[in-house]
Amino acid sequence: MNELSYEMTNEDNIPTFSQGVKDCIPTLIGYISIGIAAGIVGASSNLSIVEVTLLSAFVYAGAAQFIICALLLSGSPISVIIFTTFIVNLRHFLLCMTLAPQFTKYSLLKNIGIGALVTDETFGVAVNKIAKRESMNARWMNGLNVTAYLFWILSCMLGAIFGKWISEPEVLGLDFSLTAMFLALLVLQLQNIENGKLKFYLSLIVYIVIFMLVLCMFVPSYVAIILSTMMVATIGVVTDK
C-alpha cells in the first residue's frame, strides 16, 4: 500500500505538457503586446501579413524582428541583415547551455527541438523552476515553448492586420511590456533564492552592468551584452561554491 501511494505521488509530481502550458500563461501578456507591436512595425516596413507571419515563425525573436524591419527600410544588403540577426540572437546559445544539464537524458534531436524554441521569457520561467528545485522534463518544456511560440506568431499576425488602427504602440505602453515582464520574472527568481546566495547573485548583477557600460564604449551594445554575459557567467561559475 505504501509503495502504491509513493508511486502515485511521484506520478503527480511529474511535470506534464499541460503544466508547461499553464506555467506559460503569466508571460503571454508580454508576448501578445510585443508581438502586436512587432506586427505593426512589420506592416509599416511594407511587409505583407504573410511576410510578417513567416518572419515571426522563422526568426521568432522580438528584438531581431524589429532590427530586420529597420534594416529593410534602410535598404541594407541581405548579408548585413543575416549577420546582424545572428549576432543579436547569439545569446540564445547561452540560454540553452544553461538549461542543457536538465535534458541530458534526451536525444540530440529532442534537445535541438527544445533549444530551437527557447526564448528569454521561457528561459526565465524554466530558471525560476530550477531555483525552486522542482523537477523538469521535455514534456513540460515543450508545453511552455510551444504555447509561447504559437501566441507569438498569432500576435505578430494580428499586429500586421490591425496595424493601421494602432500606428503608435508606445502610446499604449506596449514598448515597456517586455521590460515589465522581465522584471517580474527577476523578482520571482530572487524570491526563491536562499539568503546566503542572494548577496552573491546581486553582486553578479552589478558586475554585468559595469561590464556592459565599459564595453559599450568600445563595441556595439548587442556585442557588449553577449561579452559581458559570458564574462560574468564565467566569474559566477568559478566563484560559486
pLDDT tens-digit readout, 140-175: 999 999 999 999 999 999 989 987 676 665 566 655
Whether the per-residue pLDDT at 17 is higher than 50: the answer is yes
| pLDDT for res 70 | 81
pLDDT tops 50 at residue 5: no
Angle at the Cα of 98 from the Cα atoms of 19 and 213, rounded to 5 degrees = 120
Range 182-192 average pLDDT:
65
Mean pLDDT of 34-58: 88
Does 134 score more than 90 pLDDT? no
Instruction: Look up residue 84 and give its amino acid.
Output: T
Band of residue 181 on the pLDDT scale cut at 50, 70, 90: low
Q: Any idea where the domains of the chain sit in the sequence?
A: 14-192, 194-241
Q: pLDDT value at position 37?
A: 83
CA dist 118 and 12 (Å) reads 26
Give mean pLDDT, residues 54-80.
86
Radius of gyration of the chain (CA): 20
DSSP three-state, residue 138? helix
Alpha helices, H only, the chain: 2-13, 17-24, 28-44, 49-58, 62-73, 78-88, 91-99, 108-116, 120-131, 138-162, 177-191, 195-215, 221-239
Q: For residues 194 and 126, which has the higher predicted lDDT (pLDDT)? A: 126
**Contact (Cβ atoms closer than 8 angstroms) between residue 19 and residue 140:** yes
Mean pLDDT of 208-222: 85
55-64, 73-82, 124-133, 181-190: lowest mean pLDDT where? Answer: 181-190
Is residue 133 left, alpha or beta, with left meaning phi > 0 and alpha meaning psi from -120 to 50? left
Question: CB–CB of 144/23 below 8 Å?
Answer: yes
Confidence of residue 194 (pLDDT cuts 50, 70, 90): low
Name, of 30-44, 51-65, 78-92, 175-189, the range with top average pLDDT. 51-65
* Distance between CA atoms of residues 98 and 136, nearest Å: 14
Higher pLDDT, 194 or 71: 71
Q: What is the pLDDT of residue 141?
A: 95
* Per-residue model confidence (pLDDT) at position 9: 40
